[in-house]
């Protein structure tokens, strides 16, 4: 539009830079690059030229123009039977999240089943990125390869280094199968190395990160109707390119795993064959997350009274988690009931400060926001919560992706309430022991909470049923059996020269 009307020449340099920045924030990367080139054509600036060049390298990867390959040479090998290498983007203990915990519990269960299991992180993520290292965490071998830090390096250079280091680890470990996990950078790297060594590659789509980005962008930019916005201005490159690359990686994989039936439907709708796609749900270790009772010492430290019913949530605090809905529902609950109740939110994230401000503005000065709690201490906080609420919004990412935290809450004997987005509804229906409310509707949540607060017997029955269900139907050991069958099939059918 700008070019068609020849108005670039009427816009000053400062405004053009601002336009480029805004376009990039909204995900219109190609248009942003074009505007920056106009700025450079007027007046060359080395710093800006370097920034444009860096972003050009980024575009090559996200647009699919760059395909990495190991340079080697590396000696071919006979793979070790029952040896698996997981390829991931973050690892414990550097990062504690649902992503890293799923990796770790999966690896532990596979080791217990008799496999030799290794986990390889991306380059540049270790505390000392200049020195390759191995780390043992609970018996799981983590490989922390040396290499450039992604944010400081042209993306093609970083990805090439990542592929090279992964190839080095593969040559050392000699796995029978490479199992890559979201996002597509890990799948691209694994496929390149798998092709070099003629090893089967699995891709586990744990989420739809393009949807997470879209939700964050819309929230940050004040866009209420993202569909109308995209219809008017076009689908942002950041969204479209990432979705295309994820689809390409699933197509290139020998098999695809995902976390829920709702996720599988999205994946198969995009062309991945039904018989090539398997669901391995989030799970929990009943031994590591036993049923909890309230820790009086911890409760006292936080100022929770013995007669207070605690409504709570434990999660990373990002905009699509919907915690403002929980806060407003809690306000209504206090106004409706004379029973003493308390709000507890455990976790950290970019919206923590705004959540505290929201609670204060609603007169909830005694609402508890703990910030980040070490994973080894989290059981005590589960034990404080009587009703565990998962208030996720109706954003596409929430409709599609199942979080890990509800399974831990089930295992510890909490009464569970969840919004009725598709991914959570799937969990509620499978368990038969969770209450649902209308996503985004604090009135609906307040109604559900009021009923449960007023019925200790119902809470007790739901909690017991949920704790039994996850132990019977959602264990890492059961997941390991599904993985192992597919590994065996792929390894048996692998053709090597």
Q: What is the DSSP string of 301-342?
A: HHT--TTPEEEEEES---GGG-HHHHHHHHHHHHHH--S-EE
Q: Which parts of the chain have pLDDT scores under 50?
A: 1, 4-5, 496-497
pLDDT for the residue numbered 242: 98
Say how far apart CA 218 and CA 394 lie, in whole Å: 13
DSSP strands (E only) in 394-491:
415-419, 434-437
**Which residues are within 8 A (CB) of 139 and not within 5 positions of it... i.e. 6 or more apart?**
108, 111
User: Would you kindly state where each structural domain of the chain is located, as residue ranges?
Assistant: 8-62, 83-279, 296-474
Pairing label, strands 140-144, 133-137: antiparallel
- What number of CA atoms fall less than 13 Å from residue 35's CA on the CB side? 23
Helix (H, G, I), strand (E, B) or coil at 157: helix
Helix (H, G, I), strand (E, B) or coil at 488: helix
Structure tokens at 450: 């009021």
Domains 83-279 and 296-474 agree in fold: yes
Residues written for the chain:
497
Could you read off the pLDDT of 89-122 as tens digits, one per residue? 999 988 888 899 999 999 999 999 999 999 999 9
pLDDT for the residue numbered 492: 85
Structure tokens at 466: 């949920």
pLDDT for the residue numbered 3: 52
302: left (phi over 0), alpha (psi -120 to 50) or beta: alpha
CATH number of 296-474, picked from 1.20.810.10, 2.60.120.650, 3.55.10.10, 3.40.50.2000: 3.40.50.2000
Element (H, E) at 353: helix 352-361
pLDDT for the residue numbered 249: 98
| Count of C-beta atoms within a 10 Å radius of residue 200 | 23
- What number of CA atoms fall less than 13 Å from residue 477's CA on the CB side? 10
pLDDT for the residue numbered 497: 35
Say how far apart CA 497 and CA 493 lie, in whole Å: 13
| Count of C-beta atoms within a 10 Å radius of residue 44 | 9
Helix (H, G, I), strand (E, B) or coil at 346: strand
Structure tokens at 20: 């480029």
DSSP string, 30-87: HHHHHHHHHHHHHS--HHHHHHHHHHHHHHHHHTT-------------PPPTTEEEEE
Could you read off the pLDDT of 350-408 as tens digits, one per residue? 999 999 999 999 999 999 999 999 888 999 999 999 999 999 999 999 999 999 999 99
CATH number for the region 83-279 comes to: 3.40.50.2000
């Amino acid at each position: 539009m700008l070019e068609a009307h020849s108005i670039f020449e009427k816009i000053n340099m400062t405004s053009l830079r601002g336009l480029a920045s805004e376009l990039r924030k909204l995900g219109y990367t190609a248009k942003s690059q074009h505007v920056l080139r106009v700025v450079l054509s007027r007046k060359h600036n080395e710093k800006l030229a370097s920034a444009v060049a860096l972003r050009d390298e980024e575009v090559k990867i996200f647009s699919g123009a760059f395909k990495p390959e190991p340079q080697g040479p590396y000696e071919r090998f006979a793979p070790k039977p029952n040896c698996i290498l997981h390829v991931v983007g973050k690892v414990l203990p550097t990062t504690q999240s649902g992503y890293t915990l799923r990796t770790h519990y999966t690896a532990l269960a596979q080791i217990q089943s008799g496999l030799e299991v290794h986990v390889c992180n991306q380059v540049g993520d270790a505390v000392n990125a200049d020195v390759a290292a191995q780390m043992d965490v609970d018996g799981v071998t983590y490989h922390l390869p040396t290499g450039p830090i992604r944010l400081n390096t042209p993306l093609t250079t970083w990805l090439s280094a990542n592929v090279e280091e992964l190839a080095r680890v593969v040559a050392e470990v000699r796995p029978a199968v490479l199992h890559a996990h979201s996002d597509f950078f890990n799948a691209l790297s694994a496929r390149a190395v798998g092709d070099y060594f003629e090893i089967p590659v699995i891709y586990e789509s744990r989420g739809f990160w393009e949807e997470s980005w879209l939700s964050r962008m819309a929230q940050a930019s004040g866009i209420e109707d993202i569909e109308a916005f995209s219809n008017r201005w076009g689908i942002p490159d950041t969204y479209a390119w990432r979705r295309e690359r994820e689809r390409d990686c699933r197509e290139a994989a020998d098999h695809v795993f995902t976390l829920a039936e709702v996720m599988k439907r999205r994946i198969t709708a995009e062309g991945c064959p039904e018989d090539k796609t398997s669901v391995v749900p989030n799970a929990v270790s009943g031994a590591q997350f036993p049923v909890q009772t309230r820790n009086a010492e911890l409760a006292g430290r936080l100022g929770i009274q013995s007669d207070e019913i605690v409504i709570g949530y434990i999660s990373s605090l990002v905009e699509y988690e919907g915690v403002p809905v929980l806060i407003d529902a809690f306000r209504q609950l206090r106004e409706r009931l004379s029973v003493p109740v308390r709000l507890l939110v455990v976790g950290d994230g970019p919206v923590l400060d705004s959540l505290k401000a929201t609670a204060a503005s609603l007169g909830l000065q005694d609402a508890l926001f703990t910030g980040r709690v070490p994973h080894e201490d989290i059981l005590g906080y589960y034990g404080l919560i009587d009703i565990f609420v998962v208030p996720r919004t109706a954003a596409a990412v929430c409709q599609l992706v199942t979080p890990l935290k509800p399974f831990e809450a089930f295992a510890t004997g909490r009464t569970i309430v969840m919004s009725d987005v598709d991914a959570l509804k799937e969990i509620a229906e499978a368990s038969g022991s969770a209450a649902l409310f209308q996503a985004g509707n604090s009135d609906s949540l307040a109604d559900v909470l009021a009923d449960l607060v007023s019925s200790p017997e119902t809470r007790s029955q739901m909690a017991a049923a949920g704790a039994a269900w996850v132990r019977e139907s959602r264990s890492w050991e059961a997941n390991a059996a599904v993985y192992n069958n597919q590994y065996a099939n792929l390894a048996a059918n692998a053709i090597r020269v």
